Amino acid sequence: MPKTKAEVIEINDLAKEIETVKDVHLAHIHDCIHRVEDELKENKKHFNGRLDKLDNRIFWVLGLTVTTLAGIIANMVV
């Protein structure tokens, strides 16, 4: 079936738009995804450090509580 001139022009326009999407928009999305990945890695490092500090504090409080409780029990026994 022969194509009309309008169909050929429309096909060419669509092909140009597809190339634009491939070249510009997909590249931009790719860059944005990599930027988000880098930010997530930085946030993960930050929060891991904060959680480590929190763990240390919890263990200190737990150790002090156990030590105090052991001292109180020792005084009650004696």
DSSP designation for 4: P
| Helix %, strand %, coil % of the chain (to 5) | 95, 0, 5
pLDDT tens by residue, 22-78: 888 888 898 999 999 999 999 999 999 999 999 999 999 999 999 999 999 999 987
Q: What is the pLDDT of residue 4?
A: 81
The domain locations on the chain are 1-78
At which residue do the structure tokens 């490092």 appear?
45
3 pLDDT more than 80: no
Q: What is the pLDDT of residue 25?
A: 84
2 pLDDT more than 70: no
